[in-house]
Amino acid sequence: MTNTSTVTPQDLSAFGPARATVPGAPLSADELRQTHAFWRACNYLALGMIYLQDNPLLKEPLKPEHIKNRLLGHWGSSPGLSFAYTHMNRAIKKYDFEAIFMAGPGHGAPGVLAPVYLEGAYSDIYPDKSLDEEGLLRFFKQFSFPGGIGSHCTPETPGSIHEGGELGYVLSHACGAAFDNPDLIVAAVVGDGEAETGPLATSWHISKFLNPIRDGAVLPILNLNGYKINNPTLLARISHEELENLFKGYGWTPYFVEGSDPDSMHQAMAATVDRCVEEIRAAQAEARRSGVAQRPRWPMIVLRSPKGWTMPSEVDGKKMEGFWRAHQVPVADVQKNPVHLKLLEDWLRSLKPEELFDSEGAPAAEIRALAPTGNRRMGANPQANGGVLKKALRLPDFRDYGIAIGKPGQIEAENTPPLGRFLRDIMRENMTNFRVFGPDENTSNKLGAVYEVSKKFWIAEYFPEDAGGTELAVDGRVMEMLSEHTMEGMLEGYLLTGRHGFFSTYEAFVHVIDSMFNQHAKWLAICNQLSWRKEIASLNLLITSTVWRQDHNGFTHQDPGFLDVVVNKSSAVTRIYLPPDVNSLLCVADHCLKSENYVNVIVSDKQQHLQYMDMDAAMAHCTKGVGIWEWASNDQGREPDMVMASAGDIPTLEALAAVAMLRDEFPDLKIRFVNVVDLFKLQPDSEHPHGLSERDFNSLFTEDKPIIFNFHGYPWLIHRLAYRRKNHGNLHVRGYKEKGNINTPLELAINNQIDRFSLAIDAIDRVPTLKTTGAHAKEKFRNQQIACKRYAHEHGVDMPEMVAWRWPF
Amino acid sequence: MTNTSTVTPQDLSAFGPARATVPGAPLSADELRQTHAFWRACNYLALGMIYLQDNPLLKEPLKPEHIKNRLLGHWGSSPGLSFAYTHMNRAIKKYDFEAIFMAGPGHGAPGVLAPVYLEGAYSDIYPDKSLDEEGLLRFFKQFSFPGGIGSHCTPETPGSIHEGGELGYVLSHACGAAFDNPDLIVAAVVGDGEAETGPLATSWHISKFLNPIRDGAVLPILNLNGYKINNPTLLARISHEELENLFKGYGWTPYFVEGSDPDSMHQAMAATVDRCVEEIRAAQAEARRSGVAQRPRWPMIVLRSPKGWTMPSEVDGKKMEGFWRAHQVPVADVQKNPVHLKLLEDWLRSLKPEELFDSEGAPAAEIRALAPTGNRRMGANPQANGGVLKKALRLPDFRDYGIAIGKPGQIEAENTPPLGRFLRDIMRENMTNFRVFGPDENTSNKLGAVYEVSKKFWIAEYFPEDAGGTELAVDGRVMEMLSEHTMEGMLEGYLLTGRHGFFSTYEAFVHVIDSMFNQHAKWLAICNQLSWRKEIASLNLLITSTVWRQDHNGFTHQDPGFLDVVVNKSSAVTRIYLPPDVNSLLCVADHCLKSENYVNVIVSDKQQHLQYMDMDAAMAHCTKGVGIWEWASNDQGREPDMVMASAGDIPTLEALAAVAMLRDEFPDLKIRFVNVVDLFKLQPDSEHPHGLSERDFNSLFTEDKPIIFNFHGYPWLIHRLAYRRKNHGNLHVRGYKEKGNINTPLELAINNQIDRFSLAIDAIDRVPTLKTTGAHAKEKFRNQQIACKRYAHEHGVDMPEMVAWRWPF
């Protein structure tokens, strides 16, 4: 252990002539001039976006009225982003390959928007932002302007599938995009601030998830510009040796490009990008030639350059370039401060706009010539508008995976294994555009049948014992890593590039990706407003190992609250399903896999559960999304005395058992049983496209009878959805209330009052005719409840007659 | 770039004689026997917990009725955990230092519970689990049993402050515990599954957050047992060189201990732990002697051992030890399968319980002698019951930081800077037990005054320009890293060991730690049921940079939904405050900093906002949590025609402006203005201890008048809280509805209908007397609204007269 550092700040400086791992200066003088001009043009455009609302080509002296009233945007990471983009452009032309660009520090959107505009891809989509002075002015003015576009790489940005508003996901997105795209290179710029986030830190392990035969490559470019908003970054302040060790440890071959001097930095970056592209292609070619996929130590680039690179080194005597102050708008108060106005004008003029644009305002021919053409332009690559490439899944008939159930409520089955077989055959039919994702839980979630067709992808070391059941294969298409973040990110990247997928995860820990869900839902909601963005496959998320069956994991594994997060997002993109049995789960899954531009959340437990619907009944029920179960109701043709409703597997079982107890005790009581599969049916149709009309809701739930609703999740969510309903005052909801520890299934239900006894007592308390006559039954139910808990505490399992309960009518 | 691996599986094997970085065999034959006996006893106890409900000492042949009816628990990581615990015990005795133990893979609780029981700490707290046969049986039986204890290191576990139910937080917890505890070593076992999570991956950077003078040390022990639930782990399947590089890259000095042969593994582990303790103490001693704190390359241990270590290598012909199948209950179906019963009995007897326990069932004297005594026992260290060490904060008078406001609604101020000054002086008075945390956002959140007293902790490299404004110091007490996960984890560890803290973060991205919040709230809820766990300081979380002022960050930065997550957790531990101005924010913060065992969520934006309450008014208002603002109401002494209510800064401003417009237009209209600071006031008092009684609610909000409620967050949350209120049918809520992009503040309000115009129109639509007479006013308000949006789109800023709006009465 060394106790002190031997690093000097000079070793880590982002300034001066280029220092690079790869030697050489491959650019001719012409190429160097052209490359630098393209980058200068990018920097000019970035400044124009942040500052100008008039005089875009600086044809006249800069005046206060040319400056936007409110200055917004992030300059700090823009030059580094366009530097990387510029050099990718050069390499695409040199080697003729397919690439897309992802900006991890998406706040530096000017650094991406600029080259997309220069290559003409922006004008292709937005013709009014044409390659002339008028279009340029519109392009400037719309940026970070009300009614205009955001300062991140939002869905409005051609070529972007990664907004970068929230940090941490660029490598997992890039990896997902590269899957099954053997000719694609995804250039993924990682910000050094972003690199401190957890999701990003573990996503360097994508080095072990790319197959050189079948997949494309990710070229990470860590832009070590040294600063976050107000702080230095950790990775910029450790020794060169530590940094190199870190990335070698993650399985990469890091190449450093460090400095600020433009000419030597262009030469170094060109040599380095060339090396990286050649190594990627060599590794892929060798693997494809030999048919042997081993794990390359893929190349990556560490680009150490100043934050706000190329800006004035000081403003008002304060250090700017290469310091955190360059993060956002680098020179403020320009309208009112003549010194700042002059400084900005000098800065803009130093970029020589008259060389960069012709008299009409179009980018100079030499600049445009640096960019590739057509779909080779990263801003026009169809991979970044995946819907145009998407092919519908070839789906086997889900009915073939259903089970015969006989009379409802008589047999038990595990709900997820038939879905596993359905997924297996979907996999078989779609071996280039479908993958299954899960954080080390697909087997636990009982979807293991899928391994019969395709195993878990694994390209790290193999041990002899792997033959004995690890289900690993170097051509596997099931992706597993104990990181919900990485799985979600890979799936998003895969979907956004036009493919299909399925993700299963434990209910309690799906909260780990709450924020990723939010961001993807926001992305989809904006895409719905952009006619040029074609629909992509829905993100299908199976939540299993649910709250009600945490028999030994206990309290920490009990949290059905992801649904509360989901319902807050746009109703145009959110769907929630709670199929209670095998056949309804298959129906729902089939529907979700065919859908587009949604996030479909399916809640279904993996354990043994009672079965209610044969396939025809399940199809009819799931098509409606909510409906009366006639076989469980005795109100035929009449208004019932009460409605018992349920959503979810265990809540449905307990609600049915309560109905049986009540009917046994009170033969004249008329109970209607309603089951909800599609949760948004409860909302008014004005709030959600799936919502029931007022009339339909009332005809199901009555206008004035007591409703006991047994819910899988937190009970308040049902009130949040149904509070506008006429009969809401009679709606009594049971659900999970954080009353858990180590419990048997029935005991956990009892603790949270979703059990049969509590529900039956609730009914007695609420149905007017039972209030007086029901006292004896209440007492009886209460005693039974106590006996059940006592049995569980004595034997460690539930009472056999409770476990063996079957629908008795 | 190398293309292929040169690793052989043998290099990565967890089997065979020990291979270790540190040479030597420091244990004498007696010490070795003693050490191994302690570990064998741990393994025996772990099996007993999983399997036995009778015959705990195997005094008679094992019979089916001795086996629990339901077998639950995780054996896989238990032996590795107790191996580490055993060797920490030995080292504590040898070197006499203070240590606590954290089990990242908390599912292996038997591996922790066992040594805690052996050292007597368990019986100290739970006397019925005594050190005799009867106590032992109770200890076995309660494990993973209904009404008993969980299979993780739950709050019920003496010595635990890290449950490990959710994975990924052990190093950040350990680091928080080590802060300001110069004599403490936190042994933190990291599971190799857990190591794949994002939060854990970035938390290796704690190597840059520990000061060798002032703080204690964290000794990470990565237990590379090779397997997760059903998969190998990534870190166990990369080359030794990559693994070593990775940890060197993260700033650690990794020492390897690899193998399975107990004797040589004990010798290697003893030598390695000795080396680590000596290096830690040497680094600390040198820094403390010289007064110069530099960053040591702290030692860590990579313990590669078989999953399920020491179990039979095969069961039913299938590989078990050193394979994923050892993860949970390693031999199933023991009650009914005589072969399995025999196998379990042989396994248990091979551990020689007759040597491990005396005839009374107490651990043998030699075994007990390995453990330290008193508070040196890791299961009895008061650091792991932080409330007993906690000293109250010395708080300056928050009133001294308030601002004079004159008449309500006349001046604007930034809400957070006075809080920053309050925090600064709290810091000054509590320089050993208070820290401020934030993901690179304390300056952005305008709390920068705190740096006047203590800067941001930084022990990585310094650059000359740091003198110009990075606010870094090697003795700084403000913790910043761009990882909400790491900040939250450090703060939790700090609080759980009896100290105090304050965390501020951007609203949209607090969802990143939804799941951590859930887990901490669950921990606190269980602690409330344990009389021996003393109250710790509340977790105080300021959510700022809120949804309504995302002027350039746009849609991705708009999400006020964290509150929807918070409300689902136990009402005993959750508190939410929305102070609308400077003085109320100070009041609330003071209250929160004095409180115990809560998570206090404070929502307050950092920008300029109108000020409403002088300090006296703020104190009165915050004490009540909700109240009528008489100055904004004109219903004095009478029943109003309507109630306008608000919660949050911008919603309050817009609601007041709407009231002014309505009063201007309809002078006879009686409006009551209610402001809510304490959000749980809206819930019934039966649901939350802060909830208003029915009578109080009705007297504030009326029983039958229209209520327009303008809310900071998603509007449905208010319905979720207030649906049981009598006047709920008249409650009309406005809030954020995912209608955002790049907008001026007023435009964003308009898009989501929380603006003054929408609210005034809502009122006209709902107050019966206005329905007919209000048509003209509605038209006028609508036109004003349109004009405001148009102005924003033309000028990029809000209309000056709207920005300059002041309360006119």
Of the listed ranges A742-756, B271-285, B460-474, the one predicted with least confidence: B460-474
Asked whether residue A60 is domain-assigned, the answer is yes
Residue B307 has pLDDT above 90, yes or no: yes
Q: A410 and A333, same structural domain?
A: no
Cβ-based neighbours of B490, under 8 Å, separated by 6 or more: B172, B173, B175, B176, B179, B206, B209, B437, B479
Given strand A642-647, what is the order of strands in its sheet?
A626-628, A671-676, A642-647, A707-711, A731-734
A192 closest CA partner among A108, A251, A285, A265: A108
Q: How far is CA B759 from CA B560, B677, B723, in A?
A: 20, 20, 21
Condensed to tens digits (0 to 9), the pLDDT of residues B735-745 reads 999 999 999 99
What pLDDT, on the 0 to 100 scale, is given for residue A760? 98
Q: A415 and A339, same structural domain?
A: no
What pLDDT, on the 0 to 100 scale, is given for residue A8? 58
Q: A433 and A554, same structural domain?
A: yes
Looking at the partner chain, which of A147, A294, A460 has a beta carbon nearest the beta carbon of B234?
Answer: A460
Residue A637 has pLDDT above 80, yes or no: no
Q: How far is CA B726 from CA A522, B164, B545, B682, B683, in A?
A: 36, 43, 35, 12, 12
CA dist A310 and A40 (Å) reads: 9
Looking at the partner chain, which of B238, B460, B553 has a beta carbon nearest the beta carbon of A460?
Answer: B238
| Over residues A643-665, mean pLDDT | 98
Domain end, chosen from B388, B415, B449, is at B388
DSSP annotation of B611: -
Indicate yes or no: CB of A231 within 8 angstroms of CB of B440.
Answer: yes
Percent of chain B whose predicted confidence (pLDDT) is above 90: 94
Q: A498 and A535, same structural domain?
A: yes
Condensed to tens digits (0 to 9), the pLDDT of residues B228-240 reads 988 999 999 999 9
- pTM exceeds cut of 0.80: yes
CA dist B339 and B341 (Å) reads: 5
Domain end, chosen from A580, A609, A638, is at A609
Q: A206 and A332, same structural domain?
A: yes
Looking at the partner chain, which of B150, B152, B720 has a beta carbon nearest the beta carbon of A719?
Answer: B720
Asked whether residue A392 is domain-assigned, the answer is no
Asked whether residue B618 is domain-assigned, the answer is no
Condensed to tens digits (0 to 9), the pLDDT of residues A305-322 reads 999 999 999 999 999 999
- Our CA-based measurement puts residue A75 at a distance from the nearest CA of chain B, in whole angstroms, of 13
Q: B497 and B363, same structural domain?
A: no
What pLDDT, on the 0 to 100 scale, is given for residue B772? 87
Asked whether residue A302 is domain-assigned, the answer is no
Whether chain A has a CB inside 8 Å of the CB on B325: the answer is yes
Residue B1 has pLDDT above 60, yes or no: no
Q: A634 and A599, same structural domain?
A: no
Condensed to tens digits (0 to 9), the pLDDT of residues B396-436 reads 999 999 999 999 999 999 999 999 999 999 999 999 999 99
What pLDDT, on the 0 to 100 scale, is given for residue A9? 58
Residue A1 has pLDDT above 70, yes or no: no
What pLDDT, on the 0 to 100 scale, is given for residue A3? 39
Mean pLDDT in chain A?
96
Asked whether residue B784 is domain-assigned, the answer is yes
CA dist A496 and A160 (Å) reads: 10
**Nearest residue in chain B measured CA to CA from A793:** B146
Q: Residues of B with CB below 8 A from A318's CB?
A: 468-469
Indicate yes or no: CB of B556 within 8 angstroms of CB of A152.
Answer: yes
Q: A179 and A109, same structural domain?
A: yes
> What CATH code is carried by the domain that includes residue B14?
3.40.50.970
Whether chain A has a CB inside 8 Å of the CB on B295: the answer is yes
Residue A4 has pLDDT above 60, yes or no: no
> What CATH code is carried by the domain that includes residue A651?
3.40.50.920
Residue B2 has pLDDT above 90, yes or no: no
| Over residues A629-634, mean pLDDT | 97
Indicate yes or no: CB of A197 within 8 angstroms of CB of B483.
Answer: yes
Condensed to tens digits (0 to 9), the pLDDT of residues A392-437 reads 999 999 999 999 999 999 999 999 999 999 999 999 999 999 999 9
Condensed to tens digits (0 to 9), the pLDDT of residues A156-185 reads 999 999 999 899 999 999 999 999 999 999
| Whether complex ipTM tops 0.85 | yes
Ramachandran assignment for B98, one of left (phi > 0), alpha (psi -120 to 50 degrees), beta (any other): beta
| Over residues A441-450, mean pLDDT | 93
Mean pLDDT in chain B?
96
Q: How far is CA A341 from CA A48, A65, A74, B796, in A?
A: 13, 11, 18, 19
- Our CA-based measurement puts residue A618 at a distance from the nearest CA of chain B, in whole angstroms, of 31
Looking at the partner chain, which of B194, B246, B324 has a beta carbon nearest the beta carbon of A470?
Answer: B324
Indicate yes or no: CB of B298 within 8 angstroms of CB of A1.
Answer: yes
Asked whether residue B583 is domain-assigned, the answer is yes
What pLDDT, on the 0 to 100 scale, is given for residue A468? 87
Which one of A738, A748, A789 would you mutate to disrupt binding with B, by most B Cβ within 10 Å of its Cβ? Answer: A738
Residue A344 in contact with residue A320, Cβ under 8 Å?
Answer: no
Looking at the partner chain, which of A461, A728, A797 has a beta carbon nearest the beta carbon of B5?
Answer: A461
Helices (H), A530-688: 562-566, 582-594, 615-624, 649-665
Number of domains composing chain A? 3
Residue A186 has pLDDT above 50, yes or no: yes
**Nearest residue in chain A measured CA to CA from B506:** A166
Domain that residue A564 falls in: 398-609
| B residues 562..581 contacting A (CB < 8 A) | 564-565, 567-570
Handedness of CA B340, B342, B343, B349 (dihedral sign): positive
What pLDDT, on the 0 to 100 scale, is given for residue A6? 46
Condensed to tens digits (0 to 9), the pLDDT of residues B532-548 reads 999 999 999 999 999 99
What pLDDT, on the 0 to 100 scale, is given for residue A730? 97
Asked whether residue B614 is domain-assigned, the answer is no
| A residues 467..506 contacting B (CB < 8 A) | 468-472, 480-486
| Over residues B188-192, mean pLDDT | 97
Given strand B599-603, what is the order of strands in its sheet?
B472-473, B456-457, B478-480, B434-438, B500-506, B539-544, B599-603, B574-577
Which one of A69, A518, A746, A803 would you mutate to disrupt binding with B, by most B Cβ within 10 Å of its Cβ? Answer: A518
Indicate yes or no: CB of A738 within 8 angstroms of CB of B570.
Answer: yes
Q: A601 and A693, same structural domain?
A: no
What pLDDT, on the 0 to 100 scale, is given for residue A107? 86
Asked whether residue B358 is domain-assigned, the answer is yes
Reported confidence tier of residue B388, pLDDT bands at 50, 70, 90: very high
Residue A600 in contact with residue A592, Cβ under 8 Å?
Answer: yes
∠B592-B598-B599 over CA atoms, to 5°? Answer: 85
What pLDDT, on the 0 to 100 scale, is given for residue B105? 86
∠A545-A551-A554 over CA atoms, to 5°? Answer: 85
Q: A735 and A688, same structural domain?
A: yes
What b/e readout covers B147-184, taking b as 16+ CB neighbours within 10 angstroms? bbbbbbbbbbbbbbbbbbbbbbbbbbbbbbbbbbbbeb
Q: A426 and A325, same structural domain?
A: no
CA dist A720 and A711 (Å) reads: 13
Q: A97 and A17, same structural domain?
A: yes
| Over residues A360-370, mean pLDDT | 96
Q: What tokens were used for A313?
A: 């080194």
Indicate yes or no: CB of B163 within 8 angstroms of CB of A556.
Answer: yes
Domain end, chosen from A574, A609, A644, is at A609
End-to-end CA distance of chain A: 74
CA dist A440 and B156 (Å) reads: 28
CA dist A609 and A615 (Å) reads: 16
| B residues 336..395 contacting A (CB < 8 A) | none
Whether chain B has a CB inside 8 Å of the CB on A203: the answer is yes
Condensed to tens digits (0 to 9), the pLDDT of residues B175-186 reads 999 999 999 999
Indicate the pairing of strand B19-20 with strand B253-258.
antiparallel
Looking at the partner chain, which of B68, B522, B561 has a beta carbon nearest the beta carbon of A565?
Answer: B561
